[in-house]
Structure 1
């Protein structure tokens, strides 16, 4: 855009806009940050603020919107979370009449490079992802700026499900997508999944080899072996070099992992089990994370979330966590003391991260000082848990920070009444300068008293403000006493302001002293910051160890409060659960939740689960998956006892929903998820399938359901719970050893069916769909007609068509009597209780009164 015929301010705007063309440019003008042209229209629509106009360009008004300086954080948070890049252009000097204020971009914010605590979700880690697509492979690099952690993994380019799983493990805030091949297809897929994409930086000069040279030797060797990994890292490097250069120095090693280094929990399973977000409103309410998150710091909460999305697959590692939780539960008093100390420490991980990035404020260093004061007591408490190798390793990782704490305690000013960084008594030169300044202030008081006496004006005052500096203030009745050498500065309604040569000289001395104090104080502060930075690697280890400890405390407090037990991690393949409860519903319902047993062995490894809707089948299926996942995270579980094998994957195919964004029907989504299970599950997997085939015709659905069961039985041999309404599948128990029938128990009562929420052996007698319909208050004539159709279908055997009624039969007296007789026939007079009989009579009376 041409800068001709523009005001000097707008010319400056266009020059900066050209340098940051991909970002919304927040341009400071006095007390406001302003946006112009199309950017103003975009921002105003998202922020819900007024769009106005100022000046013209090419004969057209210039669109404008703005936000106050003090409200900037709130507004840019909205924009960054919406996927925008934001460049903050600040005034770099005081405004002077007749000249354009010098301005410059001080920071660029993108979704994956945020470090300010006001812009981050405190219970969610923030990752920047570099995704590089090669001819045969895809590389994913995940970097977390505030922890300096860098991870990478490689997958086949055609293994989309594994790629999706890894992306959902980290849930990056921003993905930089690059590749040797056309990435448009990948762009479309990633956008449909809700990820924010950014273009790779091109034509930007950097020194990638030097950055990699700072990594450990073994890491450098691994990187050089893979040109695709090198390209993905270079993409990551260049993006940060342009947008957050100071963050690059934090990454000094890379963790390379395989997707099967952790229990594989794919995106569908995360969603179906509601691990982190619920399926109602997307919040954390009523999720497994909320149940287990008893951590007392937000860094501990983030660690628990990471563990839930990356469960362990090595028996020794799982047992190390379980050992730690066990000793903490056994000595809950000590654990609660530890929790109180960690609560006071707070989110040390992000404090250390901001210090490492040189973005910390005085309060961050004060926070660190208070945190370090607690370290000796924390070490003492942790050291008492001798039976936990994990907690003893935490003691070793914490280190000794006595000297650093003494330095910060001696140096940092925590007295809010004094606007100082450094305490009195820490630096001799600074103390001397402050003493001189104090004497200079005494001179101001002395000069005021001298002038009162000399002029005879008792009300004369020497005052100060930021605009005028020092001045003499005299009320109007005393103006006739003002000496000739007084120079008038300002006239007000009831008073006037003056200065003198002596006051100006004194003011100059004070300003000089303040400048020198600020300079020396900043030097001292920088020296302290450097001494803290010298310990940054140790401080990172400390923060990680404390976050780890806090996550274990969270597990221990949950286990203690809900009476969880330690699962036995076994070497065989059996899943044996005695009186297990759903962890989320069990916590909500407490004693009302009915526990169930599970016995999945090599002899009975594929269950066909039938029974009525609302009988508890789906809850039970999710319960088994959740209990196994919790055990792999190292958590105690809500059972009386349990034996859990080391699994490689947990798959769940439950519920149904369209994916309209991708143009996929409910049935197609169901089949895709089932296909993933059939092709990726192994003998060491747990498979949960609920109502496979219900999204199509009865015969197609039954055929597919049986074929899936047979495939899992013959080829996969995974531990599997298969819930279905196709009762024909229960006959497979007779033909295929290893398949066994279970059902959700119910009891017929005069008032209707009673769901017992117990899973017991054997096939269900029916689905009780009509009973559920009655509970839903469908009209009685409709339910009676459905029963007639059901009876006709049963008589026809193979036919699935019953001639329609020309019109709905009116609910006449005979039909009412028939319905009453049908209910009476169902009563088992030998087993009915007095209470059930009483309820039945009340129900009949209530129905008759309603009809009247």
Structure 2
């Protein structure tokens, strides 16, 4: 929108000057009790937020488009704009409008982006809100991700090819990178995971100054990161946070350097297919693995549990430790109950620390901090009394934070105001000056009455009284008749003469007046100053609080695991490095909760070096997919350090879990369902190892039957010959069951079916046999397709089975089959030739045509080229016309060579 700035009113001119500095943001401009938006911002925001668009006189002929939101509920509107992919600059009044001369001074005090949200009511308490930075230099890259609401900062070196998997694992809210190609390559993933991609990269973000302002040189040197790209990605993150929050203090106190190989790699498709933290349909927590496992009592524990699920361990020692701690709590009922009682009373310590660091903490937050700290001695005592040795480290490492508790206890009112500038925050006894002012404010009327009584006695004027008006304030009034009978001293200063009375003031009265009138403002200012001092004192100890918060979160997870295991009768898995995967009576953790444990059919699984690939056949709706998913989920749960739904489980250390279950069109990338499927399979075959678990469900169904069988067969063989991964392969292609006869490491399994006349019962039990039918038509019958369709399908199936040209029972027989087909083809051609000859349609040449190649005269290269062209002919996929054309070209070539 073109605007003539010279014609604008002073306020609107100042608004535009501010807007130009933050042109990539929607500017929230504080005017009184509202944040207003003007011109293009107003046009955009009114649509996104669905609020009324009005206008404001601005000096131009037409009113400026305008819309606004109340400042007290701004977080709701912020969340909607952020979710819609916009950044917001918050322009605040930075001086008191009552004392301002001319325009009230306004400045942008912060920029809100998806990765830098701090407001609690716009964030999910059980999920981290990560800002991710990616720095690339050639194939070497570094990733840093930070949650400013908790102070957590993690960083790793990573190969460029593995960035997508790492992004899928972290699921950040926002990504910044110096490599635009990387940002573009993440577009599809960002759409799936609702990640904001920041395409604007400022080279100033690479400045290392903020890094050294945040951490000591000694600390950075101890991390050994000076000579790699970690410095770059960390600096980008810290600079971006500083630029958006516009404050020097921070709650980031340490850097966690990790290796991506410390965790199981899970691509985005596996995470979605297994519904780890949300369902495929609806994106709901209910129906996910997280919902089943989450019995945490604190927000910190809930966030850490999500992180455990998204980042399973690959270290046996660490996994066993988690399991052992959970076991110790599970086996002690009193410990379990007392811990839950104490933990349930602890507030979100991590996010309270963030509010303190970024100077957005409210008095109520400090009371919540104090009440949380009051639970720490109970937790320590509970652990010590339990005599559980493995928990002693927790008790020893929990700092009771007595000094912080006492500071808040002595200073902050138990029920303070919500706003730090409204007063009613600090206890009177904490400050002598505050106590005096409150006494004056609360007892002002009594003080005036006391002065009035003393002055009557002093002057002897019984009609003397003290009054008040806005012009003179407090005054002493005496009638003229009374005044003639008294002798006033010099402290009485005449202020006003009335018809029948005189009004005076005294220094004492004015002093009391000043205290009474200004007491409230002074009280508020003193309380605000004291509150800032308390906030700063707590900030100096923020790292201590964060360490305690982390310990509480970890303890909370182990308690949650124990509660969940006890409630659902889960078992502690054994972790092995031998490669054997053995599950007895395994159940699907989510489906079991939906169906009820009494209705869910458990199943066994056994995979080892002699039984690496399981081909699973059986009808639709019989439970193949559920069974395979449950094997993947049980394996993943074990790597989390979690009890599992089974009567026993022996799980090997896996480096990755892959699932290829279902597919959908990716039209935005121009890819069909089958193309998406093949891309996923390609990723699996390229990245899986012998230590991976692969779940493949109905691969090849998106193309023709013969293509599908060929691909499925070849994929299984490739996994067997080249990868040797533990594999569950569900298929309707019964031809694949012949692989068991060819390879000793491939076994057939199927879902047991019971037939009773025309009725079929899916028993949902996996047995070591191949299925002989697919029962697809029966499933269609269950879906209530018209009887006419079902009947006709039965007849067609019968005919196809009777006349199916492809009846080879093994792909190994394919050569024999093809040769016989070629032979039949040649015999048919001979017969046709003889028939045409008999009817004089063709005449036999007088002498056979012979092509004689003399390599001495034509040269080896020409000869080899000619032979290659013959060998490249695809007889089985060529039409007669194709063959005629090829032969014609060969004849021409032969003549040239001869």
Q: What TM-score comes out, normalization by structure 1 length?
A: 0.84
Name whichever of 261-270 and 100-109 sits farther off.
100-109
Q: Judge conservation of contact 1:328–1:556 (CA < 8 Å) in 2.
A: yes
In the other structure, the counterpart of 2:175 is 175
In the other structure, the counterpart of 1:736 is 743
- Alpha-carbon deviation of 1:144? 1.2
In the other structure, the counterpart of 2:279 is 278
Name whichever of 433-442 and 713-722 sits farther off.
433-442
- What is the CA–CA distance in structure 2 between the aligned matches of 1:782 and 1:57, rounded to whole Å? 74
Q: Judge conservation of contact 1:658–1:664 (CA < 8 Å) in 2.
A: yes
Listed as ranges, the matches of 1:147-186 within 5 Å are: 147-157=150-160, 159=161, 162-179=162-179, 185-186=184-185
- What is the CA–CA distance in structure 2 between the aligned matches of 1:45 and 1:439, rounded to whole Å? 53
- Alpha-carbon deviation of 1:175? 1.0
In the other structure, the counterpart of 2:8 is 6
In the other structure, the counterpart of 1:561 is 567
- What is the CA–CA distance in structure 1 between the aligned matches of 2:215 and 2:100, rounded to whole Å? 51
- What is the CA–CA distance in structure 1 between the aligned matches of 2:566 and 2:166, rounded to whole Å? 33
In the other structure, the counterpart of 1:580 is 586
- What is the CA–CA distance in structure 2 between the aligned matches of 1:455 and 1:701, rounded to whole Å? 113
Listed as ranges, the matches of 1:741-752 within 5 Å are: 741-752=748-759
In the other structure, the counterpart of 1:673 is 680
- Alpha-carbon deviation of 1:249? 3.9
DSSP-derived class of the 1:747 partner: strand
- C-alpha change, 1:510 and 1:751, in structure 2 (3 Å) is farther
- C-alpha change, 1:630 and 1:249, in structure 2 (3 Å) is same
Which of residues 698, 712, 725 is equivalent to 1:691? 698
In the other structure, the counterpart of 2:810 is none
- Alpha-carbon deviation of 1:245? 4.1
Residue 90 (1) aligns with residue 92 (2): yes
Provide, for residues 553-579 of structure 1, a one-character-per-residue CA deviation record: whole Å limited to 9, x for no partner: 111111111111111112311111111
Listed as ranges, the matches of 1:322-337 within 5 Å are: 322-337=323-338
Residue 531 (1) aligns with residue 531 (2): no
In the other structure, the counterpart of 1:23 is 25
Residue 423 (1) aligns with residue 424 (2): no
Name whichever of 88-97 and 117-126 sits farther off.
88-97
- C-alpha change, 1:213 and 1:308, in structure 2 (3 Å) is closer
- Alpha-carbon deviation of 1:552? 1.4
Residue 405 (1) aligns with residue 405 (2): yes
Residue 628 (1) aligns with residue 635 (2): yes
In the other structure, the counterpart of 1:36 is 38
Provide, for residues 636-661 of structure 1, a one-character-per-residue CA deviation record: whole Å limited to 9, x for no partner: 11111111111111111111211222
- What is the CA–CA distance in structure 2 between the aligned matches of 1:572 and 1:367, rounded to whole Å? 49
Q: Judge conservation of contact 2:343–2:556 (CA < 8 Å) in 1.
A: yes
Residue 719 (1) aligns with residue 726 (2): yes
- C-alpha change, 1:170 and 1:471, in structure 2 (3 Å) is farther
- C-alpha change, 1:727 and 1:448, in structure 2 (3 Å) is farther
Name whichever of 16-25 and 591-600 sits farther off.
16-25
- What is the CA–CA distance in structure 2 between the aligned matches of 1:191 and 1:262, rounded to whole Å? 22
Provide, for residues 793-823 of structure 1, a one-character-per-residue CA deviation record: whole Å limited to 9, x for no partner: 11113269xxxxxxxxxxxxxxxxxxxxxxx
Name whichever of 136-145 and 641-650 sits farther off.
136-145
Listed as ranges, the matches of 1:497-516 within 5 Å are: 506-516=512-522
- What is the CA–CA distance in structure 1 between the aligned matches of 2:472 and 2:623, rounded to whole Å? 77
Residue 661 (1) aligns with residue 663 (2): no
In the other structure, the counterpart of 1:142 is 145
In the other structure, the counterpart of 2:552 is 546
Which of residues 593, 598, 605 is equivalent to 2:605? 598
- Alpha-carbon deviation of 1:543? 0.4
Q: Judge conservation of contact 1:219–1:253 (CA < 8 Å) in 2.
A: no
Provide, for residues 437-485 of structure 1, a one-character-per-residue CA deviation record: whole Å limited to 9, x for no partner: 4454422455899999999999x99799xxx99899xxxxxxxxxxx97
Which of residues 797, 801, 812 is equivalent to 1:790? 797
In the other structure, the counterpart of 1:354 is 355
In the other structure, the counterpart of 1:772 is 779
Q: Judge conservation of contact 1:323–1:387 (CA < 8 Å) in 2.
A: no
In the other structure, the counterpart of 2:268 is 267
In the other structure, the counterpart of 1:224 is 226
Listed as ranges, the matches of 1:296-311 within 5 Å are: 296-311=297-312
Provide, for residues 385-404 of structure 1, a one-character-per-residue CA deviation record: whole Å limited to 9, x for no partner: 55463x33322331232233
- Alpha-carbon deviation of 1:422? 2.2
Name whichever of 656-665 and 715-724 sits farther off.
656-665
- Alpha-carbon deviation of 1:605? 1.3
Residue 290 (1) aligns with residue 291 (2): yes
- What is the CA–CA distance in structure 1 between the aligned matches of 2:232 and 2:679, rounded to whole Å? 32
Bigger Cα Rg = 2
- What is the CA–CA distance in structure 2 between the aligned matches of 1:275 and 1:182, rounded to whole Å? 29
In the other structure, the counterpart of 2:764 is 757
- What is the CA–CA distance in structure 2 between the aligned matches of 1:378 and 1:203, rounded to whole Å? 47
Provide, for residues 168-189 of structure 1, a one-character-per-residue CA deviation record: whole Å limited to 9, x for no partner: 222111111213x756744645
Q: Judge conservation of contact 1:320–1:388 (CA < 8 Å) in 2.
A: no
- What is the CA–CA distance in structure 1 between the aligned matches of 2:636 and 2:373, rounded to whole Å? 35
- Alpha-carbon deviation of 1:601? 1.6
- C-alpha change, 1:419 and 1:56, in structure 2 (3 Å) is closer
- What is the CA–CA distance in structure 2 between the aligned matches of 1:303 and 1:403, rounded to whole Å? 27
- What is the CA–CA distance in structure 1 between the aligned matches of 2:75 and 2:548, rounded to whole Å? 30
Listed as ranges, the matches of 1:327-406 within 5 Å are: 327-387=328-388, 389=390, 391-406=391-406
- C-alpha change, 1:370 and 1:594, in structure 2 (3 Å) is same
Q: Structure 1: state its 5+ residue gaps.
A: 473-483, 489-498, 801-852
- What is the CA–CA distance in structure 2 between the aligned matches of 1:254 and 1:269, rounded to whole Å? 29
Corresponding pairs, count: 769
- Alpha-carbon deviation of 1:302? 0.8
- C-alpha change, 1:427 and 1:663, in structure 2 (3 Å) is same
Q: Structure 2: state its 5+ residue gaps.
A: 476-493, 808-898
Residue 641 (1) aligns with residue 648 (2): yes
Q: Judge conservation of contact 1:327–1:385 (CA < 8 Å) in 2.
A: no
Q: Judge conservation of contact 2:8–2:60 (CA < 8 Å) in 1.
A: no
Q: Judge conservation of contact 1:201–1:238 (CA < 8 Å) in 2.
A: no
Q: Judge conservation of contact 2:208–2:231 (CA < 8 Å) in 1.
A: no
Q: Judge conservation of contact 1:323–1:388 (CA < 8 Å) in 2.
A: no
Provide, for residues 202-221 of structure 1, a one-character-per-residue CA deviation record: whole Å limited to 9, x for no partner: 55888246337526545566
Q: Judge conservation of contact 1:200–1:235 (CA < 8 Å) in 2.
A: no
- What is the CA–CA distance in structure 2 between the aligned matches of 1:732 and 1:354, rounded to whole Å? 62
DSSP-derived class of the 2:149 partner: coil
- What is the CA–CA distance in structure 1 between the aligned matches of 2:449 and 2:588, rounded to whole Å? 75
DSSP-derived class of the 1:619 partner: helix
DSSP-derived class of the 1:577 partner: strand
- What is the CA–CA distance in structure 2 between the aligned matches of 1:306 and 1:522, rounded to whole Å? 38
Name whichever of 310-319 and 424-433 sits farther off.
424-433
Q: What TM-score comes out, normalization by structure 2 length?
A: 0.80
- C-alpha change, 1:183 and 1:310, in structure 2 (3 Å) is closer
- What is the CA–CA distance in structure 2 between the aligned matches of 1:351 and 1:770, rounded to whole Å? 60
In the other structure, the counterpart of 1:241 is 242
DSSP-derived class of the 2:341 partner: helix
Name whichever of 334-343 and 379-388 sits farther off.
379-388
Q: Judge conservation of contact 2:215–2:253 (CA < 8 Å) in 1.
A: no
